[in-house]
Amino acid sequence: MVLPRSLLAQGDHVLVCVIFLLFFQDTMSYIGPERTAVVRGFTHREAFNIVGRRVIQVAQAMSLTEDVLAAALADHLPEDKWSSDKRRPLKSSLGYEITFSLLNPDPKSHDVHWDIEGAVRRYVQPFLSALSAAGNFSVDSQILYYTVLGVNPRFDPASSSYYLAAHSLPHVINPVESRLGSSAASLYPVLNFLLYVPELAHSPLYIQDKDGAPVATNAFHSPRWGGIMVYNVDSKAYNASELPVRVEVDMVRVMEVFLAQLRLLFGIAQPQMPLKSLFSGPKSEGLTTWELDRLLWARSVENVATATTTLTSLAQLLGKISNIVIKDDVASEVYRAVAAVQKAAEELASGRLASAFIASQAAVTSSERAFFDPSLLHLLYFPDDQKFVISSL
Amino acid sequence: MVTAFSLSKGLTTLSGLLLLSFGSLAASQIEDQAEQFFRSGHTNNWAVLVCTSRFWFNYRHVANTLSVYRSVKRLGIPDSHIVLMLADDMACNPRNPKPATVFSHKNMELNVYGDDVEVDYRSYEVTVENFLRVLTGRIPPSTPRSKRLLSDDRSNILIYMTGHGGNGFLKFQDSEEITNIELADAFEQMWQKRRYNELLFIIDTCQGASMYERFYSPNIMALASSQVGEDSLSHQPDPAIGVHLMDRYTFYVLEFLEEINPASQTNMNDLFQVCPRSLCVSTPGHRTDLFQRDPKNVLITDFFGSVRKVEITTETISLQPDLEIMESRDKKDWMDEELMEPLKYAEQLPVAQIIHQVYLISENFHLNHCSTC
C-alpha cells in the first residue's frame, strides 16, 4: 500500500493511519518506516471503539508522548533516580564526534584488519545523514596496539572460555580511556566505540549479564560515553598456520551492534509497540522518519528549556550582583536568544519541526554565549563586601 | 487433640515459612530498588585540585595536592577530567636536593611527582581569577580543552584546596585572596548552570571550616582540616630535604585513600572519622546539611574514583537489505475478551424493502404536499 506523495503537503508531518480489512492471521496493526501505519478493521458490535483504541495505541507508539518529554526535560524536573533511560541520552549539542577504535592487545597472535572506511561509508554515513538534522557529525577511527582492558577475565571451565562478569564491566573503561585521545579530538562531545579482540591467552572471551548468561551481542555501553564490543576470533583460524593469524573483522556484525548502541545513546529507544502488531524495522539507514521526528521534538523542547533557564539565571545573577556591567554584545546575544526561543515555540506549535529545531539550537548558542561571556566574572568588579568607609568627624 | 494441635502447629510453621519466603522476596526487591535510589545519579567525575602557595618553604602544600592527584588518578579519573593548579616550583627548585621529585613521606618513600603529572595551570597562572573562571566556565574562547572544566549536570566534582588561609579567606600565592563569599557565589553560579550533580569540597588550611560556612547551593558536601580559630599543622619534617613534607590532615586522608580501590564500598562517614584530634591536633570539620543523600550512602569512589554506569547491549539492528518485519511479543491482549463471538458478515440490510418503503413515503409526500405537481 503506497500512498501517493501528492496527498501530503510539503513540510507536513502527518501520521497516516489507514484502516484496512486485512486477513493477516493474528496481527492487528502494522507500523511502517515512513510515518504510515495500517490498522486492521473488522465488523463487530464494538468495532469503532476497539479500532479507535488500536489507532490511539499505534499513534502513541509512533509519536511524541509524555515520557519522551519527561526524558528531554529530565534535568529541569525533580530528581527521579529510578529510570536509567532518562540518564542515558546525550545532551543536545551542536555537533558530535564519533570515534571507532580497534583494540588489539596481542599483535603477535592476531593480525587484525578491519575495513572501517568501507563500513562507515556503507552503514554509518546513511544513519548519520538521516540524523543530520540533529547536529553536525564527524567520524574518525584509530587502531590501538597493546592496550588491554583493565579487568582480568575469569576462566569458566564449563564452557572452557573466559568471561567478564557484569559487575566488573564498570572498571573496564577507565584504564582504556586515557589511551583513546578523545579529549584532543574536538570540543564537541565524543562518542567512543571500541572493538576489542581478546588476546590468544584469553580467547574466547564472553560478557556475562547479571544472571551469568553470556550476552548475545557480546557488547555493553555506557551512557554519554559510548560502547565496547568484544570480537572473538574464530577458533578454526588457529588450526592452519603459525602466529600471527590474519583476522578479517566481519564489519556487518560489528556495525549492527554499534549502530544499535548509537541509537540507544541518542535516546532513540525501541518503540513501545502495541500488542499484536508488526513493525517493519528501521530501514537500511537504521532510523525511521517518525523516530527522527520524535528526537527532534525532544531536542527542541530540551533546548528551549535550557535556553530559558540560562537566561533566567543570568537575570538572577544580575539582580544579586548589582555592579556588573553588561557589554553591548552580551546584550545583543540576550535579545537574540529571547527572539529565538519565541520563534522556536511558535514553530513547535505549528508543527514545523526542522525550523523549530534550528531556532532552538540558535537560542541555546546565544544564551550560552551570553551567560559564559568572560567579562561577566564578578571578580573584575569591586565586590560590595570588600568596601568599607572610614570617616571621622 | 494432640494430632490437631500438631497439625495446626505444622500449618502455622508452613504459613510462617511461606510468609518468610514472600517477605524475603519482597525485601530483596525493595532492597534492589532502594539500592538504586540511594546510588548517585552521576555519569562522570571531575576533580579540581588547587595548591595556592608558592616558594620552597611551602613544599608541603604541593606535596598535599600531588598526593590527592595521585590517588584520584589511581582510582580512575583520567587526566582529561582533572584540572590541576600548582605553582610547580618544587621539583626543579634549586634548593631541592633531589631534583625532579616531590616526596610525601620522610625517608623519601613515595615520589608523588611521578612520571605522568599533567599540570594544567602552573606558576603564575594560579590566580583567583583563573580559579573562578575554571569553576564558572567563563573562559576566553582560546583556552585549550585541558584547562577547562567541561562538567555537566551529571558530573560529580571533587574540589581540593590547600595553602595558607584565615578566617573567611584563602591566600593565593602571597599576593591575593579569595573570600568564602566569592567561593559560595561561584558554586551558586555552577549550580544555576547545572555544572555539577554533586560536589565534594575539601580544604586543608588554617581555619579551613570558615571557607565552607557560606555555601548555600544544594548538593555540596564539605570537609575541612580545622575549625575557625585553629591552625592546621604540618606533619613531619625531613632532615635531608629540610622542609615539612606534608600537612597532617592530608597525610591521614591519604593513608585512608591508599586502602580504597575502585570497587570499594567504603562510605563518607569513614572519611569524616579520619584524623581525629589526637593525631591531627586540630579538629577536622564537615558540613553535610546541603547534601541530599545520607553520607553513609555516599561511596568514596563517587567522588574520588570514576566508576561508570554500564548497561549490557541487548539489541541489534538489522543491516540486511531486505525488509525485516519485527513482531511484537505475544502477550495476552485484553481486547481478545471483547471479541468473543466469531467474526461474521453483518446482517445485510434488506435493501429492496427499504427502497420500496422510501418510494411509498415519497409518493405519499407528493400526494399530500405537492399541489402544483
Q: Are residues A374 and B138, on separate chains, in Cβ contact within 8 Å?
A: yes
Write the burial class of residue B42 (CB in 10 Å: 0-12 exposed, 13-18 middle, 19+ buried). buried
Nearest to B308 among A225, A257, A274 (CB): A225
Lowest mean pLDDT among B91-105, B144-158, B327-341: B327-341
Tell me, yes or no, whether B326 lies in a domain: no
| Furthest C-alpha separation in chain A | 103
Whole-angstrom CA distances from A36 to A133, A292, B322 are: 21, 14, 19
CB-CB neighbours of B69 under 10 Å: 25
Q: Which residue has the cell 575549625?
A: B227
Q: And the C-alpha cell for A123?
A: 552503514
Q: Which one of B61, B81, B164, B244 is the catalytic residue?
A: B164
Q: And the C-alpha cell for A219?
A: 557488547
CB-CB neighbours of A246 under 10 Å: 12
Catalytic residue list contains B206? yes
CA B38 to mean position of chain CA atoms: 12
Dihedral class, residue A260 (left if φ above 0, else alpha if ψ from -120 to 50, else beta) = alpha
* pLDDT tens string B171-191: 999 899 999 988 998 998 899
* pLDDT recorded at residue A8: 40
Q: Are residues A376 and B138, on separate chains, in Cβ contact within 8 Å?
A: yes
pLDDT, mean of each 10-residue run, chain A (393 residues): 40 53 59 74 73 76 72 63 57 86 91 91 88 86 89 86 87 82 74 92 88 88 90 81 84 91 81 65 69 85 90 85 80 94 91 88 92 77 66 72
d(CA B359, CA B369) in angstroms, rounded, equals 15
Which residues of A, range 51-90, sit inside 8 Å of B by Cβ? 53-54, 75, 79, 81-82, 84, 87-88
End-to-end CA distance of chain B: 104
- Nearest partner of A163 among A104, A222, A217, A214, judged by Cα: A214
pLDDT at B319 over 60: yes
Write the burial class of residue B215 (CB in 10 Å: 0-12 exposed, 13-18 middle, 19+ buried). buried
Q: Are residues B327 and A252, on separate chains, in Cβ contact within 8 Å?
A: no
Tell me, yes or no, whether B325 lies in a domain: no
A46 vs B contacts (CB less than 8 Å): 338
Please check whether residue A205 touches B, CB under 8 A. no
What domain range includes position B173?
44-302
pLDDT at B62 over 90: yes
Q: How many folded domains does chain B comprise?
A: 1
Q: Which residue has the cell 567478564?
A: A164
Please check whether residue A370 touches B, CB under 8 A. no
Whole-angstrom CA distances from A52 to A190, B8, B158, B310, B340 are: 44, 55, 55, 40, 18
B328 vs A contacts (CB less than 8 Å): 273-279
Q: Are residues A182 and B129, on separate chains, in Cβ contact within 8 Å?
A: no
Sequence length of chain A is 393
3 state DSSP class of B179? strand
Please check whether residue A237 touches B, CB under 8 A. no
- Backbone angles phi and psi of A92, in degrees to 5: -65, 135
What is the arithmetic mean of pLDDT over B51-70? 92
d(CA B153, CA A91) in angstroms, rounded, equals 10
Write the burial class of residue B259 (CB in 10 Å: 0-12 exposed, 13-18 middle, 19+ buried). exposed
Nearest to A224 among B43, B345, B346 (CB): B43
- Backbone angles phi and psi of B285, in degrees to 5: -125, 165
Q: Are residues A177 and B309, on separate chains, in Cβ contact within 8 Å?
A: no
* pLDDT recorded at residue B325: 47
Tell me, yes or no, whether B132 lies in a domain: yes
Cα dihedral B194→B197→B203→B209 (10° resolution): 80
Q: And the C-alpha cell for A21?
A: 480489512
Q: And the C-alpha cell for B239?
A: 632532615
Sequence length of chain B is 373
A166 vs B contacts (CB less than 8 Å): 312
CB-CB neighbours of A295 under 10 Å: 25
Domains and CATH numbers, chain A: 1-89 (no CATH), 95-266 (3.40.390), 289-385 (no CATH)
Alpha-carbon Rg for chain B in angstroms: 35
What is the arithmetic mean of pLDDT over B55-65? 92
Nearest to B185 among A219, A270, A378 (CB): A378
Beta carbons of B308 and A170 less than 8 angstroms apart? yes
Q: Are residues A184 and B343, on separate chains, in Cβ contact within 8 Å?
A: no
Name the helix (H) or strand (E) containing B23. Answer: helix B2-38
Tell me, yes or no, whether B370 lies in a domain: no
Write the burial class of residue A352 (CB in 10 Å: 0-12 exposed, 13-18 middle, 19+ buried). middle
Tell me, yes or no, whether B9 lies in a domain: no
Q: What is the SS3 assignment for B210-252? A: HHHCCCCCCCEEEEECCCCCCCCCECCECCCCCCECCEHHHHH
Tell me, yes or no, whether B163 lies in a domain: yes
d(CA B280, CA B282) in angstroms, rounded, equals 5
Beta carbons of A75 and A57 less than 8 angstroms apart? no
pLDDT at B288 over 70: yes
DSSP A333-360: HHHHHHHHHHHHHHHHHHT-HHHHHHHH
B311 vs A contacts (CB less than 8 Å): 84, 88, 220-223
* pLDDT recorded at residue B59: 92
A79 Cβ contact partners less than 8 Å away, ≥ 6 residues apart: B41, B292
Please check whether residue A378 touches B, CB under 8 A. yes
In A, minimum Cα distance to B181 occurs at A385
**Cα of A8 to nearest chain B Cα, Å:** 24
End-to-end CA distance of chain A: 96
Nearest to A379 among B129, B146, B325 (CB): B129
Which residues of A, range 247-266, sit inside 8 Å of B by Cβ? 252, 255-257, 259-261, 263-264
A221 vs B contacts (CB less than 8 Å): 310-311, 313
Q: And the C-alpha cell for B81?
A: 577530567
CB-CB neighbours of B62 under 10 Å: 27
Beta carbons of B185 and A378 less than 8 angstroms apart? yes
Please check whether residue A279 touches B, CB under 8 A. yes
d(CA A124, CA B48) in angstroms, rounded, equals 37
Interface test with B, best of A40, A275, A368 (most B CBs within 10 A): A275
* pLDDT recorded at residue B68: 93
d(CA B238, CA B236) in angstroms, rounded, equals 6
Q: Which one of B206, B244, B275, B280 is the catalytic residue?
A: B206
Please check whether residue A171 touches B, CB under 8 A. yes
d(CA A58, CA A275) in angstroms, rounded, equals 10
* pLDDT recorded at residue A82: 42
Tell me, yes or no, whether B324 lies in a domain: no
d(CA A302, CA A306) in angstroms, rounded, equals 6
Tell me, yes or no, whether B358 lies in a domain: no
* pLDDT recorded at residue B240: 85
CA A242 to mean position of chain CA atoms: 42
Beta carbons of B225 and B284 less than 8 angstroms apart? yes
CATH at B80: 3.40.50.1460
d(CA A271, CA B14) in angstroms, rounded, equals 45
Q: And the C-alpha cell for A71?
A: 526524558
* pLDDT tens string B242-286: 889 899 999 999 889 988 988 888 999 999 998 888 888 889 999
B40 Cβ contact partners less than 8 Å away, ≥ 6 residues apart: B156, B197, B198, B293, B298, B299, B302
Catalytic residue list contains B244? no
d(CA B337, CA B314) in angstroms, rounded, equals 33
Strand-pairing partners, residue B44, are: B155
